[in-house]
Structure 1
């Protein structure tokens, strides 16, 4: 069963700020600011769709609309060839920011999607995916900071005083970034144990006793590491649901390594012993088989039937418990995001 990690490209928006006077430089500033605000609205629709929609088509459509809004704004701002009376520094820096944003949201998005498709195959792949996604966000944020600095320099040059009030939309985006970042932090802790448990299950399917023992030891280690990390993670506001469900999952995975895996190894070793006894007996002619060998074999047949029954019961209970834990984690994660990311 797949776990969910939301793909969101976070980036800040340079908002139009309220000027204290209405002169020509202010009109120029507000013109560019209006285009940036249109982008921020499109960005918010995309973020909201990721948080509240289960439709991949809707999410991708909002991403495409975001790209289109950036392209539209770029054309309008690029048309201001002389900037404000030949002063084009703020214009050019804004265009550079929009260009980087479009490239990363449009072109880099496909690369990130490709990485996301294989991310769940290993913890390293998942870390690489998240690091790449965050790197894209940092690139966009870095250009945004340059654009904001150019805006401030423009205002200082023309004696424009800006208020520092944060818009409602900007606050929504800020909160959303915090929500997704918190979710990702808890997801990585959960996923490290989860993927190791998958390796354990694969070893069990292959009857690889050495692989089972190795992955069980690693699973206990990662579960302990995760539980220790959780001690320093505070609730998100008053919501501690993500920490609690991650703790519950890690405790389950630790039990997998400490109790479930040894029982499986014990069964496999007994079954191997039985198979060897069976081969030994079958390799002999009837006249060469001793009564002791036959009695031992018959006793092992009865025992192996009991062991198989116990094995199937243990596996069945474990399968149900594991699915329940994964479903609970995913449901809690979905609820956490949809609860704390503001509605559009």
Structure 2
């Protein structure tokens, strides 16, 4: 069972503004640009919710295409809009914001999407993927801030007062942003432990004592670090649900290393010793074997046979448990996203 990848998320929400003064040329001019935010914001919401729900790729692309068309349409409008009394500051700021957004949702988004399939292959790839998302979001946040500052400067210059009002869509997009940013902080700690647990499981299949011991030690060390990281993260809006889900699965990985892992090491150590003495026995004629060699061989056969039933049974239990635990984690993620972002 593959764990669900971290979501791509949108970091943008507009505080739509109304002007407290009576109509004036400067108010009408500023409102002309504020009115553009509504359809743009709507398309951003449709796109972000489609990504969050992990809709089919063609659905997501349709939403992105609609958003890019909307941005392009308003970029054209801004491009031919007049300055206000020879003051081009606001118009150019809006044009820059739309151009930046267009570039981020086109080229920037494509670069992130290309990294997503590779992200699940290693911790390094996942960190690169999450960092790329964060950098993308930071650029968009900076573009939003620049636009807000330009609007505020325009209002101050022409003695206007902006009264901010969060729209319903704006609030929801803000909530998505907060939920996914929190999810990513939890997720990367889960993912690091998950990767090492998978490597331990692969090592078990090699039946090589040294390989198993190496991966088991790494699993415990990494998981304990990740658990401490998660414990240090605050609950999400006083909701501990996702944090507790991560703590549960990380604790299960530690339990694996402390119980099943030790049993695996014991069995494979006996198996390794048996293979060594078996090679010695096979290389000699029976009459050339020493009493110690015969005794060691018989002892290891007996010990291996006594450990095998419990080892095989616990291996089946381990494989079943890891599927159940991963399913429970994924369900917890689904519930968290559904509750806080959709």
Aligned residue number for residue 185 of structure 2 = 185
Q: Distance in 2 between matches of 1:53 and 1:242?
A: 19
* Runs of 4+ residues over 6 Å off in structure 1: none
Aligned residue number for residue 76 of structure 2 = 75
Q: CA RMSD in A?
A: 2.2
Deviation by residue 1:199-226 (Cα, 9 ceiling, x = unmatched): 2223333344333323322322232223
Shift of 1:285: 2.4
Q: Distance in 1 between matches of 2:21 and 2:211?
A: 70
Aligned residue number for residue 30 of structure 1 = 31
Aligned residue number for residue 199 of structure 1 = 199
* In the alignment, structure 1 residue 106 sits paired with structure 2 residue 106: yes
Q: Distance in 2 between matches of 1:150 and 1:63?
A: 27
Aligned residue number for residue 66 of structure 1 = 67
Question: Tell me, which stretches of 5 or more residues in structure 2 are unaligned?
Answer: none
Question: Tell me, which stretches of 5 or more residues in structure 1 are unaligned?
Answer: none
Shift of 1:291: 7.2
Shift of 1:19: 4.2
Shift of 1:55: 3.0
Structure 2-normalised TM-score?
0.91
Aligned residue number for residue 327 of structure 2 = 327
- Relative to structure 1, the CA distance from residue 19 to residue 58 in structure 2 (aligned partners, 3 Å threshold; closer, same or farther) is farther
Q: Distance in 1 between matches of 2:58 and 2:309?
A: 46
Deviation by residue 1:54-103 (Cα, 9 ceiling, x = unmatched): 433323322222222211221111121x3223322111111111111111
Asked if structure 2 preserves the Cα contact closer than 8 Å seen for 1:14 and 1:36, the reply is no
* In the alignment, structure 1 residue 153 sits paired with structure 2 residue 147: no
How many aligned residue pairs are there? Answer: 341
Deviation by residue 1:154-178 (Cα, 9 ceiling, x = unmatched): 1122222211222222211111111
Asked if structure 1 preserves the Cα contact closer than 8 Å seen for 2:17 and 2:163, the reply is no
Asked if structure 1 preserves the Cα contact closer than 8 Å seen for 2:203 and 2:212, the reply is yes
Deviation by residue 1:320-340 (Cα, 9 ceiling, x = unmatched): 111111111111111111111
Shift of 1:245: 0.8
Deviation by residue 1:227-249 (Cα, 9 ceiling, x = unmatched): 32333333323432111111111
Deviation by residue 1:258-308 (Cα, 9 ceiling, x = unmatched): 222222121111111112222222222244346775565455434433433
Stretch moving more, 290-299 or 178-187: 290-299
Residue 259 of structure 2 aligns to a residue whose secondary structure is helix
Q: Distance in 1 between matches of 2:136 and 2:84?
A: 31
Shift of 1:16: 4.2
Asked if structure 2 preserves the Cα contact closer than 8 Å seen for 1:249 and 1:325, the reply is yes
Shift of 1:43: 0.9
Stretch moving more, 100-109 or 296-305: 296-305
Q: Distance in 2 between matches of 1:121 and 1:211?
A: 20
Q: Distance in 2 between matches of 1:65 and 1:18?
A: 30
Residue 87 of structure 1 aligns to a residue whose secondary structure is coil
Asked if structure 2 preserves the Cα contact closer than 8 Å seen for 1:20 and 1:162, the reply is no
Q: Distance in 1 between matches of 2:281 and 2:8?
A: 59
Aligned residue number for residue 305 of structure 1 = 305
